[in-house]
A and B are shown apart, each in its own frame.
Chain A
Amino acid sequence: MLNLKSKLFALVAALLCAGTAFAQDSGPLIDMLVKKGLINDQEAEDLRGELLKDFAANSPAGKLDISSRVNRLTLALDARIRYQYDNETTNSPGTAGPNNDRSRYRYRFRLAATALLNNNWNMGLRLETANGATSTNDDFGAAGSTNFAKDANTAFVGQLFIGYAANGAFIGAIDNLDVRIGKHAHPYFVPGVNGFYIDSDINVEGLSEQLTWFDAPAKGWQLALRGGQYILANNSRTTVGAVFTNSPSIWWVGQAEFSKTYIFENNVYGTRIAPTFMAFTAPGIVSGANAYDNFGVFLLPVEHTIKFHNKPLAFYATYGVNLDGRARTKRLYPAGTVENSYNQMGNAGIRYGGARNPGDLQLTAEYRFIESGAYTNFLADSDFNAGRTNGAGFITSASYLFTDAVTGTVTFFHAENIDKNSPAAIGFHKANVLQVDLSARF
């Protein structure tokens, strides 16, 4: 007949062998049995050894060797297969552009590793297909050597950053502080399809700061102050006579978001309003159509989401004006050909349905416009009017979540010139883009 110790030992072994996750948490239980004298140290060590072997052999986690400096490591991958039809007609009659009537078969992936380190630090790395600032797409059939070759299929560093995020920073003066330096996703509130005024594929390069206070400026509200200083050129300099002078080229962004929101079934409801200002100081960079000069843009994005038939119904809009838009417009047009300042931009849209839970269907319709001198085409959403200014039109989109990991999306963009007499390079006569996407992520 088994004695008490044998019974307990067998019971513990049976319980612990029931699951590898439980096995990893068994240390305190074994320690307690040793402390109570039910098993001795060597018996405890034998038990630990067997559990560890079981864990190592049967659990994927037992095969990962992650530094103790990491508190949490997140690996994420998203893949997208896209059919795209482009039909862009230029402002010059009879001149066909590369995307005049074109089917494109595209894909992208983004593979990210983000680590929470000790003492509120974090870091991340993300690899992406494509090297463009506003696109992560690569093309099937684009290999140069033979069919199905891989010589044009390359991964690039999309993000690489170090961050610090802490609650109660500066002796509680700031409820939450989040600072990030390197190449990273921007922190700004940008309502609209694909990020209206900052293309959602852009990874900013420099420093982002976010200071958040809860119950400010009133109870139930939240205030987030955001700032950004982003490098435009790594060797900016000006010349004074024969002397080169260091002249950093910076994109400056400031945003104050006031929000009162709540979450229901993974969807966010409530109100967000975020006055924003941005400008460039780029003395060392030559001006052009994509210029940094005459650019001081004030934007006012707002969004209000209500519950409608238990689904989110969002109304959103942005109004923007370039405070130096008249000068910018004049510079972009041939001398004496324009009197209008063309300094305004905006969007307005409605979005119904969630995009978080399996079976969610989300429908979006949006109107947007960007006048010639209002903005810059290296920041604007590149899918609408190819990111160019001097365009107005609409976007419709429908997405459906087959599972919480797999989504199908169809989006159509249509834009036309605002000023039909603009120079050829500013806008398109018409720009239509159809995108059909199948995406999967974990």
Chain B
Amino acid sequence: MNKSTIFLLAAALLTGTASAQKLVIKGSDTLGAKMVPQVAEAFRAKNPGVVFEIAAEGSTTGIAALTDGTADIGMSSRRARPTEVSAALAKGVSMKPIIVSFDAMAVIVNESNPVTKLTLRQVEQIFAGDVKDWSAVGGNAGAFSVYTRNTSSGTYQDWKDLAMKKRDYASSSQKMAGNEQIAAEVGKNPSGIGYVGIAYTHAPGVKVVGIVLKDSKVVMPAAETVHDKSYPYARPNFFYTNGEPHGLAAQFIDYLLGAEGQDIVAKSGFVPVPASK
């Protein structure tokens, strides 16, 4: 996983201005790799006195940092676990979840593959190893090459929860470091199948398959199907704060959830939060 730590220092700090405000954001590499730094950059353009410290080392580290008081905002691509909430409460931290974007995971196959759609059950069977050959799901004969994220990724567990009824992956599945690697392998392998965030569905050589719901309706990963809850493999992304956000953190979150911030979210390959009804 990308464990880059990005320090964006405002010009005011570089010039030694003592009045600079600092916002520490730690957590998910999914959010912190690209989306949040871009939003921070845009926010800083309007608020030059602000200093950002963004550390993207995984959702767990973000929740831990918020609990320890070493971050103002914890980024997480998953919900906090009960033990994390109880640990935070023990330290007087009341974790407040704020949805900042959605992530839809698309099932991709090689563009030469004749299969265009799969049922929920077939997706579960393929990734769990119940079926071994493409001919079992309407494809050309040939064994599946199943690509997954590696075990340290939060997405690895999320996919089990969302698509596999919490079952284990097929023992033959191949673990990849990230979305790019899965898309690249599927693009090269006519028998390949994997899952990636929708930002990576335009990689060369791959195509997205539709998901056949129980009512036989076929859905594709898109902002509309995420918002109307019809796409089954979508998950919210979170900022966690200690209680209701206030001060600089509140200003930044307001900006992120505003029109400009959500525009950046969409351009980063994530699904924006729908406007409140």
List B contacts of A112 (CB < 8 A): none
- In the bound complex, how far is the Cα of B78 from the Cα of A68, in angstroms? 15
A35/B229 in contact, CB under 8 A = yes
| Chain A minimum-CB-distance residue to B79 | A48
Query: Shortest distance in angstroms between B98's beta carbon and chain A's nearest beta carbon?
Result: 7
Given A49-B95, A63-B83, A119-B168: A57 and B89 within 8 A (CB)? yes
Please encode chain A, from 3 to 47, with 1 for each CB lying within 8 Å of some chain B CB and 0 for all others: 000000000000000000000000000010011010011100110
Chain B residue numbers with a CB within 8 Å of A40 are 274, 276-277
A241 to B130 Cα, complex, angstroms: 56
The CA-CA distance from A45 to B80 in the complex, in Å, is: 11
Query: In the bound complex, do residue A49 and residue B82 qualify as a contact, i.e. CB atoms below 8 Å apart?
Result: no
Complex CA gap A48/B95 in Å reads 11
Contact B99 A56 (CB under 8 A): no
Q: Which of A37, A53, A61, A119 contacts B85 (CB under 8 A)?
A: A53
- Verify if B183 is at the interface (C-beta below 8 Å from A): no
Known A56-B86, A57-B89; judge A42-B81 contact (CB<8 A).
no
Residues of A within 8 A of B236 (CB): 41, 45
Are the CB atoms of B81 and A65 closer together than 8 Å? yes
A52-74 Cβ-contact flags toward B at 8 Å (1 or 0): 11011101011111001000000
- Residue-wise interface mask of B (49-93) relative to A, using a CB-CB cutoff of 8 A (1 in contact, 0 not): 000000000000000000000000000000111110110010000
Our pick among A31, A53, A64, A68 for the contact of B89 (Cβ within 8 Å) is A53
A residues near B82, Cβ cutoff 8 Å: 52, 55-56, 59, 61-63
The answer on a CB contact under 8 Å between B85 and A52 is yes
A49 to B76, CA, bound (A): 14
- Interface size of B by CB at 8 A reads 25
**How many Å from the CB of A26 to the closest CB on chain B?**
13
Residue among A46, A53, A56, A59 having the largest count of chain B Cβ atoms under 10 Å: A56
Chain B contacts for A63, CB-based, 8 A? 82-83, 86
Closest residue of B by beta carbon distance from A58: B86
B273 cross-chain contacts in A, Cβ below 8 A: 41-42
Task: Give every chain A residue within 8 A of B157 (Cβ-Cβ).
Answer: 68
Residue of B nearest to A24 (CB): B82
Interface residues on A, range: 20 to 34
Smallest CB-CB separation from B95: which chain A residue? Answer: A49
A34 to B102 Cα, complex, angstroms: 15
Whether the pair A46, B97 counts as a contact (CB closer than 8 A) is yes
Encode A108-131 as 1/0 by CB contact (under 8 A) with B. 000000000011000000000000
User: Shortest beta-carbon distance, A115 to chain B, in Å?
Assistant: 15
> CA A49 – CA B241 in complex, angstroms?
12
- Which residues of A have CB within 8 Å of B229? 31, 34-35
Q: Within the complex, what minimum Cβ distance (angstroms) separates A322 from chain B? A: 47
Contacts of A65 in B (CB 8 A): 81, 83
From known contacts A56-B82, A65-B81, A65-B83, infer whether A48 and B94 are also in contact, taking CB-CB under 8 Å: no
**A61 surroundings in chain B (CB, below 8 A):** 82
Is B96's CB within 8 Å of the partner chain A? yes
> In the complex the two chains form, what is the Cα distance from A62 to B84 in whole Å?
9
Nearest CB in chain B: distance from A32 CB, A: 9
Minimum distance in angstroms from A71 CB to a CB of chain B: 9
Q: How far is the CB of B135 from chain A (nearest CB, A)?
A: 21
A31: B residues at CB distance < 8 A: 229
Q: Contact: B89 with A56, CB < 8 Å?
A: yes
Q: How far is the CA of A53 from the CA of B92 in the complex (A)?
A: 12
Q: B276 touching A64 by the CB < 8 A rule?
A: no
Give CA–CA (A68, B160) in the complex, Å.
Answer: 11
Q: Which residue of A lies closest to B161 (CB)?
A: A68
Complex CA gap A34/B94 in Å reads 24
Say whether A42 contacts B86, CB under 8 Å: no
Chain B: minimal CB distance from A336 (Å): 65
Q: With A and B bound together, what is the CA distance between A64 and B95 in angstroms?
A: 18
| Contact, CB under 8 Å: B168 / A53 | no
For the complex formed, measure the closest distance between the CB of B87 and the CB atoms of chain A, giving whole angstroms. 8
Question: Restricting to B227-277, which residues have a CB under 8 Å from any CB of A?
Answer: 229, 236, 238, 273-274, 276-277
Question: Which B residues are in CB contact (< 8 Å) with A41?
Answer: 99, 236, 273-274
Residues of B near A42 (CB, < 8 A) are 98-99, 273, 276
Say yes or no: B98 contacts A62, CB within 8 Å. Answer: no
Interface string of B92-113 (1 = CB under 8 A from A): 0011111100000000000000
Chain B residues with Cβ below 8 Å from A53 are 85, 89, 94-95
Chain A residue, CB-CB nearest to B167? A118
- Contact residues, B126-171 vs A (CB, 8 A): 157, 166-168
Give every chain B residue within 8 A of A37 (Cβ-Cβ). Answer: 277
User: Scoring A residues 394 to 409 as 1 if CB is less than 8 Å from chain B, else 0, what string do you get?
Assistant: 0000000000000000
Q: Which residues does chain B contribute within 8 Å of A57, judged by CB atoms?
A: 86, 89
A59 CB to nearest chain B CB (Å)? 8
Nearest B residue to A45, CB-CB: B97
**Which residue in chain A gives the minimum CB-CB distance to B86?**
A56
Residue of B nearest to A39 (CB): B277
The CA of A34 and the CA of B276, in the complex, are separated in Å by 12
A65 to chain B: closest residue by CB: B83
Which residue from chain B places its CB closest to the CB of A27 in the assembled complex? B79
Contacts of B94 in A (CB 8 A): 53
A364→B99 CA distance, assembly (Å): 66
- Which residues of chain A are within 8 angstroms of B98 by Cβ–Cβ distance? 42, 45
**Chain B contacts for A119, CB-based, 8 A:** 168
| Chain A 361-383 interface residues, beta-carbon cutoff 8 Å to B | none
7 extra interface residue pairs, beta carbon distance < 8 Å, beyond A42-B276, A49-B95:
A41-B273, A45-B98, A48-B97, A49-B97, A53-B85, A55-B82, A57-B89
21 contacts between A and B (CB under 8 A): A35-B229, A41-B99, A42-B98, A42-B99, A45-B236, A45-B238, A46-B96, A48-B97, A49-B97, A52-B79, A52-B85, A53-B85, A53-B95, A55-B85, A56-B83, A56-B85, A57-B89, A63-B86, A68-B157, A68-B166, A119-B168
Which residues in A have some Cβ–Cβ distance to B below 8 Å?
A: 31, 34-35, 37, 40-42, 45-46, 48-49, 52-53, 55-57, 59, 61-65, 68, 118-119
Q: Which 6 A-B pairs have the closest CB atoms?
A: A56-B86, A65-B83, A56-B85, A62-B82, A35-B229, A45-B97
